[in-house]
Each structure stands twice: as C-alpha cells, then as structure tokens.
Amino acid sequence: MKSITEWQQEVHSIARSKGFDVRERNVAESLCLIHSEVSEAMECWRDDDMEMRYAPDGSGKPEGLPSELADVVIRVMDFMEGFGMNLEEAMEIKAAFNRGRPQLHGRVR
C-alpha cells in the first residue's frame, strides 16, 4: 500500500507528465482549482450522484461523488508537492492537535 507521501509524489508526477505544472500558477489560482473540485462534489450530492460510476460515453472517465472527492485530494496533493509541502506530515500534526481539542471544539449545539 502506498503512503500518502508516495501518492503525493505520484499524482504530481502524472500532472507534470501531462503538461501541468502547479508552479506556473499562482497560489490563489491553485486554491480556486481545488475549490472547483469541491463545488463539483457538491453538485454530485445535490444531484444524488453518490456512487462511483463511469461516463456513459465509453471513455472510461470515472464520475460521481467519490470521483470528485478524489479529484479534491489529487489537486491538494499536486499543489503541496509542487510547492514543497508534505501532506502526510501536515496531516499527522493536525490529527495530533485535533485529538487534544474539546468536544465540538468548545462550541455548544
């Protein structure tokens, strides 16, 4: 099984091999592209398109909410690798911090 770091390196390598280089964009543009994938995931939820499926045109393109959420992660990984950040390390640090936070982060429902 691949580590998050290995996935991060692979998705960035794939993007570069297809002619995309996150470093040619500014940070705001890259973050907007991540957000656009979140918006596509939201549209799947609104359309009750919750299952992984393939485009009916025979292209083999995955569609549905799981595919869009994967695109979010792929965009984040590509961004972080391109700008020299380690997602796996950041996740470990954030998870450790979150473990120590109070229930509902101190808010009342």
| pLDDT 10s digits, 90-104 | 999 999 999 999 888
Query: Who wins on pLDDT, 49 or 21?
Result: 49
Specify the long-range contacts of residues 63-66, CB closer than 8 Å, at least 24 apart: 65/41
- Look up the CATH number of domain 24-106: 1.10.287.1080
d(CA 41, CA 50): 9
Per-residue pLDDT tens over the stretch 4-26: 999 999 999 999 999 998 878 88
Cα distances (Å, whole numbers) of residue 31 to 57, 91, 102: 30, 18, 29
- Rounded to 10 deg, the angle between the 65-82 and 4-17 helix axes is 90
Over range 68-85, report the average pLDDT: 97
| Sequence ranges of the domains in the chain | 24-106
pLDDT at 103: 86
* Tokens read off for 72: 């979010």
